[in-house]
Every structure is written in structure tokens, then in C-alpha cells.
């Protein structure tokens, strides 16, 4: 056993204890519910939870263990699920008052795969309205705060997942990422987050309309956790195909050996990376070298800023008037500001510009694919700046544009289709999270995880934030 509270253990340890019978999933669930009650009121990360459902799921895991059946790789691990994916019996709100009564009648495949692997659902986590922003508040669930510093954003759109996981509410948080919505909350909250390869994790909401093309080819579900090993374990459960997602692909989680060679880029496309983040990247490179990797500092990478423009074109060029109408009906200030600030670009996109963006997506992805042949891992910043002040994007149109200008490495990378991992590497003297971003080849999450584990083992271990302190 251990002197560490059950709720504070990593997922790998919880699963091992439950599988061995050393502790029950019910005991873990009760401890996790206790932590939720203690920590969540200060941060509003989990916006709906049903203790009876949590305990029933834990009891089912215990019954499987008692009967000698395999309870699954996530046996008894408490997980949180974002409110923008279907979970049977719960509202798929996506942060909208208009969807507060949209009750799912089936599980999204990613939820089914998590629960089928023995995970215990702890609660539903918050997102900004429409999951549009890198800040998390809305009119139906309220404001989510960063457990490390209430003055900082918890990130978005998976801000609830990031805040909950950082505060010890669940060992693994489910998130979604089309332009940084897993990676940025992980960075802002001082934990780790993995955006898998497009097609790695099956996902589909039966409760709503099918997504437009930008969402279909760039949005993914991925895990957030306090240990890299927990990301690996979560991917083992989540990384499965499903017939409801025709773009999902059944691929091995581990591929053939690759050269242990990484590229380090401090200022992609000339980005004005904060000095603190450049220092973290240089330190991470030294840790990788200590682990036997060759790390070459490079001045340039394949396109990122251009990729970010392609991403925005494919998002805004497909139904912008309908987005605006929905945001006006919802009346959410964040969504309205986001769409208003992008109006000029959106109104410049015609059929030819949209088609050109689809074509250019192929070219950019090809350049990145070729680059990854030489460098199986790329180290680059998680953002150009330290985590933003909360609601910075609402202070003025200029602040909104500044936020977007600093996030090309979040917005652009999904265009490549490659997996990317945000790794927490420490805190400033003031307690502000620091981190790096790791990119690997297509379906080579295992390579990104290997590099991340090497850096984690030689550097900072994520601490649990106490939002009540």
C-alpha cells in the first residue's frame, strides 16, 4: 500500500492496486469523490457529478475483479469527461444554455472505450460556450478557475479537465482539441496533455449534427494527466477505432524503432517566444541528450503560421453566418467576441479560398511528414507566452488579436494531422506553469511519450494544486 491518499495516486498505480485486489475501486471512488467535494467549489471545474453513478461503476469493477475477470487497463481509475461529448443520461451542453436539456441516449465512442476499459466516471468538466476559447466560462455552467492561480486562465476549451486534473480531481481528464483545447489547458494548469493523431481515437456525438469539414479533419479527443505514464495508459483505452467514426483507424499503439533524434526550435516561424519558455526548451533538450538522444537546434520548421491561417479558413469558411446566429442567440460574450474579431477574415473566404486551404493543408502536412522522417521528435514552445491572464481576450479587440497572434503553435499543428504533447516542466518563482511541446510522426504517439518520459524522469514532477490554499 501507500501513505499517499488514493485520490492523489497516478492512474497506473491505481489500476495496479485495483487489479491486484490490494484496494477496491469503491475505496478509490469514495476518496475521489471526497477530493472533488473539497477542491471543486473553489474552481468549478466539474460542473455535474452523480456520486451514485460513480459508485455503481466502481462496484462493477470490483465485481469483475472478484469474479476473476479482466477489469480493463483503467481498472478503477477515476476520470472526468468533458461536457461536449455524449455520455448516456447526461446533457451534452458544450457550454450552451440552448443544450442544457440535450440528454445523450448513447455514449460517444471515446466515452464507451474509457468506461469499457474499467475507468470510473467522476464527473463532467466545463468548457467555454461552443468550445471556442482558451478561457473557460459560459452562461450555463459558470466560470472555471485555474487551481494554481485564479488570476490565470485554466485554458480552453478543456479548461475544466485541466483544472480538475491539476487539482487532483480524477487521475485522467478527457479533453478535445481542434486548435489547442487539450494542449493549452494542460500547459496553463501545469500538467500534461496529449493530442493524438487524427483517426487514432474514435469519436462521434449521436446527439447532434455531424461536424463541418474543419472539425472532421482536425478535431480529436485526448487525455490530460499528471504523469506521462498516465497519458500512455489513457491512450491504450481511448486509442481504438469504432464504426460510428468512419475516419478512425485501428493502429498499433507501438511502432518500429526510430532514430533517437530530435529537432529543437525555440522560435518557430520567428515567433517571439518568452525567454522563460526558451530556457525550458533548452533544459528539456539537455535532458533528452542525457537519455541518449541526439538533439539538433534548428532555425526553422515546416510551416506553422501558415498552417494556423489554413486552420482558421477551414473553420470560419464553413458556416460562419450560422455560427454568428447561434452565438447571438446564446448571448455568450466570449463566443461573440471570438466571432466578431474574426469577421474580416471570415467574410473574405469564398469557395476558391476554402478550396485553396484544403489543397494547402495537404502540402503543409506533406512537408511536416518529410521533416519527421529525419527528426522523429520535434521540441517547440507550447505558446509564445506564459499562460494568459484570465479573460484576457475580452479586455479589448487588440487583446483578442494579441492572444491569437501568440498561439500559432496551438492552432497550426492540427493541420499536420500529427500527434502533439504538452509537457509540464515546472513553475516560475511566482507559481506560473512552464512547459514545452513535443511533436512526433503520424501514429507515433509512442515516440512522443518516450521522449516526454525521458524528460520527465530527469526534471520536474507535477505537483497537485490546492485551490483552497
User: Pick the residue with more confidence: 1 or 55?
Assistant: 55
* pLDDT tens column, 277-298: 999 999 999 999 999 999 999 9
Report the pLDDT value the prediction gives residue 314, as an integer from 0 to 100: 96
Domain annotation covers residue 208 = yes
* pLDDT tens column, 350-397: 999 999 999 999 999 999 999 999 999 999 999 999 999 999 999 999
Question: For residue 379, what are the domain limits?
Answer: 6-457
Residue 274 has pLDDT above 90, yes or no: yes
Using alpha carbons, select from 44, 145, 225, 148 the residue that is nearest to residue 433: 148
Report the distance separating Cα 107 and Cα 100, nearest Å: 17
C-alpha torsion 424→428→432→437, nearest 10: -30
Domain annotation covers residue 328 = yes
| List 131, 157, 221, 248, catalytic entry | 157
What confidence category does residue 18 fall into, taking pLDDT thresholds of 50, 70 and 90? very high
E strand or H helix at 357: helix 351-374
Domain annotation covers residue 465 = no
| List 181, 207, 221, 248, catalytic entry | 181
Report the distance separating Cα 8 and Cα 106, nearest Å: 31
Is 181 a catalytic site residue?
yes
Is 309 a catalytic site residue?
no
Using alpha carbons, select from 5, 311, 73 the residue that is nearest to residue 178: 311
Domain annotation covers residue 249 = yes
Report the distance separating Cα 231 and Cα 195, nearest Å: 10
**Residue 282 · residue 295 · CB < 8 Å:** no
Residue 1 has pLDDT above 60, yes or no: no
Domain annotation covers residue 92 = yes
CATH number of the structural domain spanning residue 434: 3.90.1300.10
Report the pLDDT value the prediction gives residue 469, as an integer from 0 to 100: 65
Helices first, then strands: H and E counts in the chain? 17, 13
Is 369 a catalytic site residue?
no
Domain annotation covers residue 462 = no
Q: Provide the number of structural domains found in the chain.
A: 1
C-alpha torsion 352→358→364→369, nearest 10: -160
Domain annotation covers residue 323 = yes
What confidence category does residue 3 fall into, taking pLDDT thresholds of 50, 70 and 90? confident
Report the distance separating Cα 338 and Cα 200, nearest Å: 29
Domain annotation covers residue 26 = yes
- pTM attached to this predicted model: 0.98
Residue 2 has pLDDT above 80, yes or no: no
What confidence category does residue 468 fall into, taking pLDDT thresholds of 50, 70 and 90? confident
* pLDDT tens column, 44-54: 999 999 999 99
Amino acid at each position: 500500500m501507500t501513505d499517499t491518499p488514493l485520490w492523489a495516486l497516478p492512474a497506473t498505480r491505481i489500476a495496479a492496486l485495483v487489479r491486484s485486489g490490494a484496494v477496491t475501486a469503491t475505496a478509490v471512488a469514495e476518496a475521489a469523490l471526497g477530493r472533488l467535494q473539497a477542491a471543486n467549489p473553489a474552481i468549478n471545474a466539474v460542473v455535474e457529478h452523480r456520486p451514485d453513478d460513480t459508485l455503481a461503476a466502481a462496484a462493477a469493477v470490483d465485481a469483475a475483479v472478484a469474479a476473476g475477470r479482466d477489469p480493463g487497463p483503467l481498472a478503477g481509475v477515476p476520470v472526468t469527461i468533458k461536457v461536449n461529448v455524449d455520455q448516456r443520461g447526461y446533457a451534452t451542453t458544450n457550454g450552451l444554455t440552448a443544450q442544457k436539456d440535450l440528454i445523450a441516449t448513447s455514449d460517444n465512442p471515446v466515452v464507451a472505450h474509457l468506461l469499457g476499459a474499467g475507468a470510473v466516471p467522476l464527473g463532467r468538466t466545463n468548457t467555454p460556450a461552443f468550445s471556442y476559447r482558451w478561457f473557460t466560462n459560459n452562461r450555463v455552467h459558470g466560470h472555471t478557475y485555474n487551481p494554481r492561480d485564479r488570476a490565470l486562465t485554466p485554458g480552453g476549451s478543456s479548461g475544466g479537465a485541466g483544472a480538475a486534473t491539476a487539482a487532483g480531481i480524477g487521475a485522467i481528464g478527457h479533453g478535445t482539441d481542434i486548435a489547442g483545447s487539450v494542449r493549452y489547458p494542460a500547459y496553463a494548469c501545469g500538467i500534461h496533455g496529449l493530442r493524438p493523431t487524427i483517426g487514432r481515437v474514435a469519436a462521434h456525438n449521436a446527439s447532434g449534427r455531424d461536424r463541418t469539414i474543419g472539425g472532421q479533419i482536425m478535431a480529436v479527443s485526448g487525455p490530460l494527466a499528471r504523469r506521462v505514464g498516465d497519458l500512455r495508459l489513457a491512450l491504450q483505452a481511448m486509442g481504438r477505432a469504432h464504426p460510428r467514426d468512419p475516419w478512425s483507424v485501428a493502429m498499433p499503439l507501438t511502432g518500429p524503432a526510430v532514430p533517437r533524434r530530435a529537432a529543437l526550435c525555440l522560435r518557430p516561424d520567428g515567433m517571439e517566444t518568452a525567454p522563460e519558455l526558451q530556457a525550458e526548451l533548452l533544459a528539456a533538450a539537455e535532458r533528452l541528450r542525457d537519455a541518449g538522444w541526439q538533439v539538433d537546434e534548428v532555425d526553422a520548421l515546416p510551416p506553422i503560421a501558415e498552417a494556423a491561417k489554413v486552420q482558421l479558413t477551414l473553420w470560419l469558411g464553413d458556416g460562419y453566418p450560422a455560427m454568428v446566429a447561434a452565438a447571438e442567440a446564446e448571448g455568450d460574450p466570449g463566443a461573440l467576441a471570438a466571432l466578431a474579431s474574426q469577421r474580416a477574415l471570415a467574410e473574405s473566404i469564398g469557395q476558391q479560398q476554402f478550396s485553396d486551404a484544403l489543397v494547402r493543408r495537404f502540402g503543409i502536412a506533406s512537408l511536416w511528414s518529410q521533416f519527421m522522417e529525419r527528426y522523429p521528435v520535434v521540441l517547440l514552445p507550447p505558446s509564445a507566452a506564459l499562460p494568459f491572464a484570465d479573460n484576457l481576450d475580452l479586455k479589448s479587440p487588440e487583446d483578442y488579436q494579441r492572444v491569437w497572434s501568440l498561439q500559432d503553435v496551438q492552432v497550426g499543428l492540427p493541420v499536420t494531422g500529427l500527434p502533439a504533447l504538452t509537457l509540464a516542466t515546472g513553475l516560475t518563482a511566482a507559481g506560473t506553469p512552464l512547459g514545452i511541446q513535443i511533436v512526433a510522426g503520424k501514429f507515433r504517439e509512442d515516440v512522443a511519450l518516450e521522449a516526454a518520459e525521458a524528460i520527465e524522469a530527469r526534471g520536474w514532477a507535477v505537483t497537485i494544486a490546492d485551490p483552497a490554499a
